[in-house]
Amino acid sequence: MDSELEGIGIMKTTVDIPENELEDVMRFTKAKTKREAIVAAIVDFNRRRRMAELIRYAGTCDTLMTVEELQRQRRRG
């Protein structure tokens, strides 16, 4: 996990996190440390939000190839 964070700013902060919630995050993420669990939860949260943003645009582009056009293009090489 730490290798993913290299080259980005790291900020220390103090927060009150309900112990049962933190235990669940550690169990779900299989994290060995509280920090690792919190970072994993934040990364997952942000990934899901980015995906939700992309979903808003699903079906809004009218210049995409149809399945048939894509298959024809693949056959041509």
> Taking 60 as the threshold, does the pLDDT of residue 1 lie above it?
no
| Cα–Cα nearest to 22, from 8, 7, 3, 42 | 42
The pLDDT assigned to 66 comes to 87
Q: What is the pTM of this model?
A: 0.64
Q: What is the pLDDT of residues 4-57, one digit of tens each?
A: 656 678 888 999 999 999 999 999 999 999 999 999 999 999 999 999 999 988
The pLDDT assigned to 5 comes to 58
The pLDDT assigned to 10 comes to 84
- How many Å from the N-terminal Cα to the C-terminal Cα in the chain? 40
